[in-house]
A and B are shown apart, each in its own frame.
Chain A
Amino acid sequence: MIELDRAGRSFKVRRSLVHAVRDLSFTIAPGEFVGYLGPNGAGKSTTIKMLCGILTPTSGTVRVAGLEPSRRRTTLARRIGVVFGQRTTLWWDLPLADSFELIRHLYKVDRNTFRTRLDELTTTLDLGSFIRTPVRQLSLGQRMRGDLAAALLHAPDVLVLDEPTIGLDVVSKAGIRDFLKRLNAERGTTVLLTTHDLGDIERLCRRVMLIDHGQLAFDGTLGDLMATAPDQSDIEEVVSRLYTGSGTA
């Protein structure tokens, strides 16, 4: 479903070349739920932006759902859902319901399918109480649920989440995690999730990838990840050891 082959993206910063992502290769099969970890500035967001076609790779190839994202961006958009935890993709001054209606038109979802999906999402994400409220008046937890629904109205095969639980309280976090788990289990949606919250990883991801300095530092199951530091049982400790370990390498 997602394939990177020696993909790289560099930026020119004051005449010197900075490699945000370098020679990155991995494959994610349909239906996988993958956690994507890495310290700040490791290249997580750059990778995600290459996956949705926002950034054009400067080397190597990227394929998502069989398409080259930067060349087929608008076609791919119908098959991929994207949520940025740090900023909303909704219309700030409009009620949530109006944003959804506009999305229906942008993605050309027919009215009946849209109604069914929206009803379902309204129930599972519990949107009912604030669907008529302008987005700017929503709490962060409500807004995040709104953003998730917006990213799923066109029933994408792939869902890419960039820090979806950032800043949320424990109850909201749990709600979002349950929802994602069910989405992946019941609909088979492929999910790639970046986060700094290792609780997300423990509860959701069968597979973990860790990126540092633009390169893959670890790729394996959660069990493999814990096995890298047999003397540790706390995932925070294990991951921080990997961050610093690869940092000095």
Chain B
Amino acid sequence: MVSLYARLAWTWTRAAAAYPASFALMTVLGIITTTLDVAVILIVFANTTTLAGFSRDEVLFLYGAAGVSFALCDLLVSNIDRVSQHIKAGTFDTFLIRPVSSWLQLTTDRFNPNRLGRVLQAVLVLGYAVAVLDLEGRRLWMIPVMVVTGFVIFAALWTLVGAAQFLLTDAPELGNAFTYGGQQLTQYPLAVYARDLVKGVTYVLPMAFVNWQPGLYVLGRDDPFGTPEFMRFLGPAAALALVLAAGLAWRQGIRHYRSTGS
């Protein structure tokens, strides 16, 4: 599956290289927009020393960790949210006549490596935060776990959004509220948000497990909302539950696909 993914991604990379100007422009734009995110955090901390009890470097840590997960997903999985475009253009049929899973074909569809810039930016921020924060060595194992968990959660979320487009062909933007909205949410410590919202993203849509709950463990902090310690370790379970839901939704979506005329 990995080699097939790489093969498809490489094919689309060469296709993207047919339009070099667009490629260069998108890469530069990607780097500018993500750099602006960091600039906002730095501006906030030019005026205050803590945000909801978190220092600048702690916020950068949370931002960087979620950023790596999100940017990887944006690079590797996000193309799946073009389901409705393909349905409307009548090009979705093509994915279903090949002996390869439609999910794999959709996630690599028009794969574009220009999003690598964002991954790099997030890795730099995370690396910086880990270097300057005085983190306890015994807690560091959680960092790779949380990045992978976050990636899986975002990937499942994107798959759900793609699957929903089989029904909501005319409202594909609705999904962005969850994917890009989820990214916006995880950029800051959840402590800055209202209690009910945080409950929602903990127990309903598990965005709190992308970086917040495991991040609290790495930083050695208690949850300002008072959730018990064991919650810090529930990320992988939450991610797995979301993956199962997404897989089921995707299958149902394909089964209910109606194709287009002619």
> Which positions 4-26 of chain B face chain A at CB distance < 8 Å?
4, 7-8, 11, 14-16, 18-19
Are A106 and B97 interface neighbours, CB within 8 A?
Answer: no
List the A side residues contacting B91 at CB < 8 Å. Answer: 87
Q: Is B195 an interface residue (CB 8 A)?
A: no
Given contacts A74-B99, A77-B99, contact A55 B15 (CB under 8 A): no
Are B4 and A49 interface neighbours, CB within 8 A?
Answer: no
A69-101 contact mask (Cβ, 8 Å, vs B): 1 or 0:
010011101101010101101011110001000
**How far does the alpha carbon of A161 sit from the alpha carbon of B138 in the complex, in Å?**
63
List the A side residues contacting B94 at CB < 8 Å. Answer: 84, 87, 89
Are B255 and A54 interface neighbours, CB within 8 A?
Answer: no
**How far does the alpha carbon of A54 sit from the alpha carbon of B259 in the complex, in Å?**
8
Q: Is B257 an interface residue (CB 8 A)?
A: yes
**How far does the alpha carbon of A82 sit from the alpha carbon of B93 in the complex, in Å?**
10
Q: Is A56 an interface residue (CB 8 A)?
A: yes
**How far does the alpha carbon of A74 sit from the alpha carbon of B261 in the complex, in Å?**
23
**How far does the alpha carbon of A80 sit from the alpha carbon of B258 in the complex, in Å?**
21
Number of A-B contacts (CB under 8 A): 70
Given contacts A55-B257, A55-B259, A87-B90, contact A78 B11 (CB under 8 A): no
List the A side residues contacting B90 at CB < 8 Å. Answer: 86-87
Query: How many residues belonging to A are interface residues under a CB distance threshold of 8 Å?
Result: 34
A54, A77, A78, A82: residue with the most chain B Cβ atoms closer than 10 Å: A54
List the B side residues contacting A84 at CB < 8 Å. Answer: 93-94
Q: Is A45 an interface residue (CB 8 A)?
A: yes
How many chain B residues sit at the interface, stated as a range, is 20 to 34
The one of A49, A87, A107 in contact with B99, judged by C-beta atoms closer than 8 angstroms, is A107
Q: Is B184 an interface residue (CB 8 A)?
A: no
**Chain B, residue nearest A75 (CB):** B99
B8, B93, B261: residue with the most chain A Cβ atoms closer than 10 Å: B93
The one of B14, B16, B19, B255 in contact with A56, judged by C-beta atoms closer than 8 angstroms, is B255
The one of B15, B99, B256 in contact with A78, judged by C-beta atoms closer than 8 angstroms, is B99
Q: Is A198 an interface residue (CB 8 A)?
A: no
Q: Is B124 an interface residue (CB 8 A)?
A: no
Which 7 A-B pairs have CB atoms at the shortest separation, nearest pair first?
A77-B99, A93-B15, A93-B18, A54-B96, A82-B97, A89-B94, A78-B99
Apart from A87-B93, A102-B11: 15 A-B pairs, beta carbons within 8 A? A54-B93, A54-B257, A55-B258, A55-B259, A74-B101, A75-B99, A77-B98, A77-B99, A86-B262, A89-B94, A91-B11, A102-B8, A106-B100, A107-B99, A108-B99
Identify the A interface with B (CB < 8 A): 11, 40-41, 45-46, 49, 52-56, 70, 73-75, 77-78, 80, 82, 84, 86-87, 89, 91-94, 98, 102, 105-108, 134
